């Protein structure tokens, strides 16, 4: 990440900002300049193989991003679970 975040607050702010941008773009809004897709003619046959390789690499990056998403999900779920009080349960067994 450019200007790597130094805290969870900054990381979550960055992720939230990216999510809003991608969601708006995926919903049909005009993409921000750095996400804009150029208006091009059909793909020339001479570039088809290269385009397929690039598409495959994008799929690999997407899979890696999905794995990172899963890691973040586990961290968040673990944080929630560890926020519960931890200790020895105290009870009286009256059946004895």
Model pTM score: 0.51
Q: What does each C-alpha distance from 58 to 16, 45, 54, 64, 94 come to in angstroms?
A: 22, 20, 6, 10, 63
Identify the pLDDT of residue 58.
87
Identify the pLDDT of residue 33.
77
Cα 71 to Cα 83: distance, rounded to the nearest angstrom: 18
Q: What angle do CA 24, 5, 21 make, to 5 degrees?
A: 5
Identify the pLDDT of residue 27.
82
State whether residue 4 is helix, strand or coil: coil
Note the pLDDT tens digit of each residue in 46-56. 999 999 999 89
Contact 32, 25 (CB under 8 A): yes
For residue 81, give both structure tokens: 């679970």
Residues in the chain predicted with pLDDT less than 50, given as ranges, are 1
């Amino acid at each position: 990440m450019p200007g790597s975040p130094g805290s969870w607050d900054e990381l979550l702010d960055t992720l939230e900002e990216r999510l809003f941008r991608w969601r708006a773009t995926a919903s049909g809004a005009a993409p921000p300049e750095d996400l804009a897709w150029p208006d091009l003619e059909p793909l020339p046959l001479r570039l088809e193989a290269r385009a397929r390789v690039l598409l495959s690499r994008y799929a690999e990056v997407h899979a890696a991003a999905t794995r990172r998403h899963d890691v973040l999900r586990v961290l968040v779920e673990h944080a929630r679970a560890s926020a519960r009080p931890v200790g020895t349960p105290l009870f009286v067994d009256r059946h004895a």
